[in-house]
Amino acid sequence: MATTIQVNESTKKKLQSFGTKGDSYDDIINHLYSMAVKEQLRQFLFEGDAIPIEEAIAEAKKKWPK
């Protein structure tokens, strides 16, 4: 079921410039959403308290020796 959303003319132009010929606004918004989800996952995985794998292995070996 389709719905209507209101956007400013400048937003409409931005959406049009992001898509390619034949893309619907639904296609463009879904593509942008997919990219945003991937970026959130990338930030979660690679930013913050991450440590190199070698360091994690060394810490694990100290914590749980054989």
10 lies in some domain: no
pLDDT at residue 39 in the model: 94
- Segments forming the whole domain that contains residue 51: 23-63
pLDDT at residue 50 in the model: 76
33 lies in some domain: yes
Domains in the chain: how many in total? 1
pLDDT at residue 44 in the model: 81
pLDDT at residue 45 in the model: 80
pLDDT tens digit string along 3-61?
A: 999 999 999 999 999 888 899 999 999 999 999 999 999 888 877 777 889 999 999 99
Query: Residue 7 corresponds to which tokens in the numbers above?
Result: 């956007």
Query: Residue 4 corresponds to which tokens in the numbers above?
Result: 């209507």
SS3 15: helix
